[in-house]
Structure 1
Amino acid sequence: MRLDDERQSSNIEDRRGSGGGGRAPIRIGSIGGLVLVLGALYFGVDPRLVLNLLEDGAPSAGSGSMVAQQGPAPGNDAQKRFISSVLASTEDVWTTYFQQMGRTYHEPHLVLFSGGEPSGCGYAQTSVGPFYCPADHKVYLDLAFFQELQGRLGAGGDFAKAYVVAHEIGHHVQNELGIMQQAQTQRSSLSETGEGGVSVRIELQADCFAGVWAKRANDAKQILQTGDVEQGMNAAAAVGDDRLQKMARGYAVPDSFTHGTSAQRVQWFRRGLNSGDIRQCNTFGSPSL
């Protein structure tokens, strides 16, 4: 990716080494711990946040605990600079897009942490993976996740990392547009989880929005290089529910899906990348995902 000469966002909160790690509560929502580990593990909104927390706009009390190690002191390292440049690119794209829609885009913050960190949606932990918190409008990311993405999941490269960030920002775009709130009304006609559930539709739309960002950012500044798109597709495929569940226990349980299959994630990311149009990302209006 060509981002070396691009600006860096001022909306990075580097809390690595801040002492946020340690023993802290894990909030367990109504869907339960199995979804926490298998469903919300790899970059997306924890479905409990969308389906349970938006009703009152605040996290509920939790139970359980986990020890998180304190990370390194904050610094102006290469990964941080890269993530900051990606975040700045999303700000430029979505600010312009919202202006074209006659709306104002409110830039989110991205929190870098190590091990664990309090958030507006409960305690952020490395084991949960990157996520967007609609209660405080922030993305939480432990950079150690990228080692897992490249190592165990086989999805390396700069654009794979950019896809992770763009997907989480896609959730913020959903929040800005009121889609998360509107999704609450779908609970009466759609299941919370499963192949066509509310959570899957939210996640696939965020994948599509990530593709919209990539298309528009590249049209404006030619940031993509040979192989970048393939890295993004590989990352999307690597974190499909079916693939993750088969890796974890040897088989997939479609009724428990929260993010979509590998094929679906690739399909919706490609759809946004090809069109650059959020109108092509209406997963809630699509009978077939």
Structure 2
Amino acid sequence: MRWKGRKQSSNVEDRRGTTVRGGGGGPVAGGAIGSLLFALFRRGSGKTKLILIVGVIAACFMFKINPISLFMSTPGGGSSQVVSQKDYQPTAAEQEMFEYLKTLKGDNETIWAKIMAAEGLTYRPAKMVVYTQRTSTPGGIADAQMGPFYLPANETIYIDPSFFSELEQRFKAKGDFAQAYVIAHEVGHHIQKLLGLTDKVHGQQGRISKTEYNRLSVRLELQADFLAGVFAHHGQEKFNFLENGDIEEAMRCAEAIGDDRIQQHSHGHVQPDLFTHGTSEQRKRWFMRGYQSGRIRDGNTFDVPYNEL
């Protein structure tokens, strides 16, 4: 992928060298109260999330509680702290990855501003936090083991670049355009948030069965794959950034992180009712559909019968 020399995004926060450490030595998942609040926040509807946020703010104000303390303790009861490594110096490869992420984020902003304007829609860029090991979020602690993710609550993408090493080593999905596909997929979730689709799906949690909700999640994820393909389509037109083999890299990545492939790799068997992202074939198909079409309107995964996705 040709990426050097283009405009970089100003919406990228560098938290490399700053991490969250817990006194208990285990993974930081928030204190008892923080864990409960985080679980409720993740599972609640948009209205529930708003009530939780307002309630926490009010309680912290009334009882003079530092809101960070609700989430910054380990399961063992020890306190945790944000540690800044002042002497942190990225390697040349780490710094190049950071420059690549800023450039790719800038590409997405340029492309989606143009696409949404053409559709008469309002666009605002997501933020991106690049971190190492662990970092704080409005809902708790992000851990590198979680992989890249988009948090709708604050419209931010969180990523520890070490994920790409795991992607290559564990799933044999390598290449800079495989990485571009991952980021474009997360930006796709931001586009869904702007379109109102994310809140609509998340608002169904608790109202429908687990299997039905998982199927909605699959539709949402496959649409994000489609939107990643739309980005690739317009990015090629705008920047001519594709090189030989780049689309194949994205396809290998999509195949590697399909639910069926991951379940087979982790558990030795496949359970379709537990799918949340779609199969390898579905993920590849929807990315290619977006890449070939380039039109948002062609990616309505919610109108397709589930067994035809």
Compute the TM-score of the two structures, normalised by the length of structure 1.
0.84
Residue in structure 2 matching 1:52, options 36, 44, 47: 44
Whole-angstrom CA distance in 2 between matches of 1:273 and 1:29: 41
Match of 1:229 in 2: 247
**Amino acid across the alignment from 1:252:** V
Is there any run of 5+ residues in structure 1 with no aligned partner, and where? Answer: 33-47
Residue in structure 1 matching 2:139, options 102, 121, 141: 121
Whole-angstrom CA distance in 1 between matches of 2:262 and 2:215: 18
* 1:230 partner SS: helix
**Amino acid across the alignment from 1:8:** Q
Cα pair 1:70 1:114 within 8 Å, conserved: no
In the alignment, is residue 160 of structure 1 matched against residue 178 of structure 2?
yes
Cα pair 1:69 1:116 within 8 Å, conserved: no
Q: 1:78 to 1:135 in 2, by over 3 A?
A: same
- Give the stretch that moved more between structures: 98-107 or 52-61: 52-61
- Give the stretch that moved more between structures: 58-67 or 123-132: 58-67
Compute the TM-score of the two structures, normalised by the length of structure 2.
0.79
Match of 2:88 in 1: 73
**Amino acid across the alignment from 2:127:** H
Q: 1:267 to 1:74 in 2, by over 3 A?
A: farther
Match of 1:98 in 2: 116
In the alignment, is residue 85 of structure 1 matched against residue 103 of structure 2?
yes
Give runs of aligned pairs for residues 168-183 of structure 1, distance below 5 A.
168-183=186-201
Report how far residue 187 of structure 1 moved.
5.5
C-alpha distance after superposition, 1:156-210 (max 9, x if no partner): 0000000110000000000011111222465699654479711111111111100
Whole-angstrom CA distance in 1 between matches of 2:121 and 2:262: 38
In the alignment, is residue 15 of structure 1 matched against residue 15 of structure 2?
yes
In the alignment, is residue 25 of structure 1 matched against residue 43 of structure 2?
no
Report how far residue 104 of structure 1 moved.
2.0
In the alignment, is residue 264 of structure 1 matched against residue 282 of structure 2?
yes
**Amino acid across the alignment from 2:10:** S
Report how far residue 69 of structure 1 moved.
9.8
**Amino acid across the alignment from 1:140:** Y
Match of 1:274 in 2: 292
Match of 1:140 in 2: 158
Is there any run of 5+ residues in structure 2 with no aligned partner, and where? Answer: 57-69
Cα pair 1:21 1:115 within 8 Å, conserved: no
Whole-angstrom CA distance in 1 between matches of 2:190 and 2:89: 25
Match of 2:2 in 1: 2
Report how far residue 278 of structure 1 moved.
1.1
Which is greater in Rg?
A: 2
- Give the stretch that moved more between structures: 196-205 or 271-280: 196-205
Report how far residue 11 of structure 1 moved.
0.9
Report how far residue 70 of structure 1 moved.
8.1
Cα pair 2:108 2:187 within 8 Å, conserved: yes
C-alpha distance after superposition, 1:64-97 (max 9, x if no partner): 7599998883758100111111100100011111
Higher fraction of helix: 2
Whole-angstrom CA distance in 2 between matches of 1:185 and 1:134: 13
Whole-angstrom CA distance in 2 between matches of 1:24 and 1:196: 27
Aligned length: 272
Give the % identical residues. 38
Whole-angstrom CA distance in 2 between matches of 1:195 and 1:261: 16
Whole-angstrom CA distance in 1 between matches of 2:286 and 2:207: 22
In the alignment, is residue 111 of structure 1 matched against residue 115 of structure 2?
no
**Amino acid across the alignment from 1:274:** Q
Report how far residue 16 of structure 1 moved.
1.1
* 1:112 partner SS: strand
Q: 1:79 to 1:184 in 2, by over 3 A?
A: closer
- Give the stretch that moved more between structures: 229-238 or 114-123: 114-123
Whole-angstrom CA distance in 1 between matches of 2:269 and 2:19: 39
- Give the stretch that moved more between structures: 58-67 or 201-210: 58-67
Cα pair 1:6 1:85 within 8 Å, conserved: yes
Cα pair 1:112 1:142 within 8 Å, conserved: yes
Supply the RMSD in Å over aligned alpha carbons: 2.9
Q: 1:263 to 1:6 in 2, by over 3 A?
A: same
Report how far residue 24 of structure 1 moved.
2.6
Whole-angstrom CA distance in 2 between matches of 1:185 and 1:195: 10
Match of 1:220 in 2: 238
Report how far residue 119 of structure 1 moved.
0.9
